[in-house]
Structure 1
């Protein structure tokens, strides 16, 4: 039995190795959140906040283990789309892909505005409305061009941004470990945290570990996705957990006023290295948001590419550029949609959709595990996770806990997006039928 979905042959080149896949996953997980989390966490949990990062890593681990096993079954582009479609049928795959795509557009738009605001620290003129629109257009255009020109260009740029993000963080941790007594960095077991504060801290931190699923989408461009994607997921989780915990520990010691800081890591770097440290951390924030955006620009267009190959979207979105071997039309569509939402300002009330859509995606994919194991459990290279059913139950429990944060508005908006997706599908198939009635009827 093969783990590939039936359908048109993919024409994307397999150039991504383990480092490239890890870059996509780590930039999906580490965005702007970690630069603001330490202060609020210190307020909620004090010295115990270091343990919160480790606990949340354990909470997200069952979900990631499920995705590791599913990633080992498939070699094609699509990630969650393939998992849902193989287990529950093509329509389930389309709806998962559509919801995830919409949430990624909104998330990109929000992060793009955050990037523009961060640029305002260096250039006050960036806050002017007309300049913001021009900068948004320029950034989207450059990211579109970088991705259209080929996977190597995009991954190379992503690696550079990741270095600019990691180096200041690693420097801050290293200086903190040198300047203070190691014993003071160890979390205090005698510090108690109230149940309400603990719950708030857990819900706050666990979202610093999500976003990894975007790195699964371009499996069709990986040299050995069944082997490398599970490894990249595990490596991403370990790096995030260690880095987050060390950052929180050093921040607690280096900045006594951490709980009241509005720019915690910038203030920590300033306390350690003065204005140079603050500047380095501001650059790290810009690089982190930029890396998150570039990773999304790489992965998300592969969703419409996959849905076009499966016949759910116009065939033009599934075409590959003859020279650069990238889904150029899908990339341009995604970039244009992100720019439109970023400059409209009307996307703010839809922010909850991104969270709810991600939880739905996790629950559908985790629920698909038993069927996928029956179909592909013997595929060559498939990962065998011990205690598979236990991990699945734990993953679903974590997802159920996350649902407590979902508002009624998010549920209604998500329902509206599902309906919109069905209408778009009907329109797309009608257009395709008119363009090619013989193929449509066949």
Structure 2
């Protein structure tokens, strides 16, 4: 029978994270760069009904969040999807959990890089067209890779500043929009309902704005009162973010008549409402949000491949450290080059949908881990979901439904990336045998 976590390890990692800390982690994970680019795609697929798709996505992701709340309460130390998969299904599945998490970070990084380039192109069109676009993407990926290799990311100590800027810009847009547009913000819902395929595609696209919370699970496992703070922090974060998203969609579609054709929907909305000054302010919000997200994503994701290499689950090349800067330079370079290739060949909406697919596999694995892990941990975990295994089943069904909406292009591309991960795993396994 698999061993339970060691009490000694638990004592070294006391639960010192309160409700506010859990909530901040959830909100930071959910509100990234997606909301700055998603409203136009939502309007194109679902029209004025797009605001309701946000509420639907929040309900859809709820059982998955609840599953992560229970799983997070099992561990006092470092948990996360990698550990869930390994404990429940073995080292290969655990590796795939880590690889899927890495893919989600990688593809999200590429999507946000595209969004940043499109936003810069709002003021400097040459930066988002033709060869200028490729140069902009290369400069962004190269500069961020260099920052991570040099270790400059360690100088960024407080993500709270970026959270304040993001909230200030987004809430300012909402209040300004309601003050200027008044009742015109509210849709009439008089147009015909979109086709079911378009509604499904809209849900798949907007679910991108509700993923990322899983990054809060590892430290949330050290919460002071996980039986209260984990579910309450996750639910409060989900509700507040969902309401904010819906208000942003209402203001944006009222302020930008041709919203479905916009590559920079929030910039266009801010410009329409507040002129050039509003566009500049929102651009600052976009830049700070996206750049902070990109630096953090690259920093954490490259440490995943570095750690897997140390465990000999990946080739040792990924685990090599720069002789001068003492950073996992090979992992950083691999991440930067892969992100550039994805960004060069994909639009923001395509990449956003693609990253959702890899996350859905990760969520299914985590939900499926509950029936396996609950019998081992239920006596020491004060937070167990009611209703038997109904919530995990609902979470898996929600993910499977979203998978049905995914385009075949996203499926085969994600499949290729998973196969690449499997090949790397077998190389690492052979390396482990030789050692």
Is the contact made by 2:22 and 2:223 (CA closer than 8 Å) also made in structure 1? Answer: no
- Offset at 1:241? 0.1
Q: Which residue is 2:290 aligned to?
A: 289
What TM-score comes out, normalization by structure 1 length? 0.79
Question: Match for residue 205 of structure 1?
Answer: 206
Measure, in 1, the Cα distance between the counterparts of 2:49 and 2:343. 38
Of 341-350 and 299-308, deviating more is 341-350
Q: Is the 8 A contact 1:74 1:225 kept in 2?
A: no
Moved more, 414-423 or 98-107: 414-423
1:340 aligned to 2:337?
Answer: yes
> How far apart, CA to CA, are the structure 2 residues paired with 1:231 and 1:401?
26
- State the distance in 1 between where 2:174 and 2:105 align: 31
Partner SS for 1:406: coil
Give the Cα separation in 2 of the matches to 1:346 and 1:52. 27
Superposition deviation, residue 244 in structure 1: 0.4
Structure 1 residues 417 and 171 mapped into 2: Cα distance closer, same or farther (>3 Å)?
closer
Instruction: Please list the CA deviations of residues 334-383 of structure 1 after superposition, one character each: whole Å capped at 9, or x if unmatched.
Output: 43222212444687379576333222111111111112211112224x42
Q: How does 1:102-141 map to 2 (within 5 A)?
A: 102-122=103-123, 128=132, 133-141=138-146
CA contact (8 A) 1:312 1:428 kept: yes
Q: Does 1:365 align with 2:362?
A: no
Q: Quick one: structure 1 residues 356 and 256, their matched pair in 2 at CA, closer, same or farther if it must change by over 3 Å?
A: closer
Residues 122 and 229 of structure 1: is their aligned pair in 2 closer, same or farther, counting only changes over 3 Å? farther
Question: Residue 51 of structure 1 contacts residue 187 of structure 1 at CA under 8 Å; is this kept in 2?
Answer: no
Q: Distance in 2 between matches of 1:17 and 1:50?
A: 32
Match of 1:88 in 2: 89
Between 405-414 and 67-76, report the one with greater CA deviation.
405-414
2:210 partner SS:
coil
Q: Is the 8 A contact 1:140 1:339 kept in 2?
A: yes
Contact 1:78 / 1:219 at 8 angstroms: preserved in 2?
no
Instruction: Identify unmatched segments of 5+ residues in structure 1.
Output: 438-442
Residue 392 (1) aligns with residue 381 (2): no
Q: Any idea what SS the aligned residue of 1:383 has?
A: coil
Question: 1:313 & 1:224 partners in 2: Cα distance?
Answer: 35
Any unmatched runs of 5+ in structure 2?
Answer: none
In 2, the alpha carbon distance for the partners of 1:113 and 1:195 equals 29
Q: How many equivalent residue pairs?
A: 422
Aligned to 2:42: 41
Given that residues 39 and 249 in structure 2 are in contact (C-alpha distance below 8 angstroms), is that contact kept between their aligned partners in structure 1?
Answer: yes
Equivalent residues in 2 for 1:158-237, closer than 5 Å: 158-181=159-182, 184-186=184-186, 188=188, 192-196=192-196, 197-217=198-218, 226=226, 230-237=231-238
Contact 1:27 1:295 in 2 (8 A): no
What's the offset of the Cα at 1:142?
A: 2.4
- The change in CA–CA distance for 1:130 and 1:35 in structure 2 (over 3 A counts) is closer
2: CA distance, partners of 1:405 / 1:7? 46
8 Å contact 2:200–2:402 — kept in the other structure?
no
Aligned to 1:404: 404
Deviation (angstroms), 1:80 = 0.7
Q: TM-score, normalised by structure 2?
A: 0.80
Query: How far has the Cα of 1:66 moved from its partner?
Result: 1.1
User: In structure 2, how many angstroms separate the alpha carbons of the residues matched to 1:278 and 1:360?
Assistant: 37
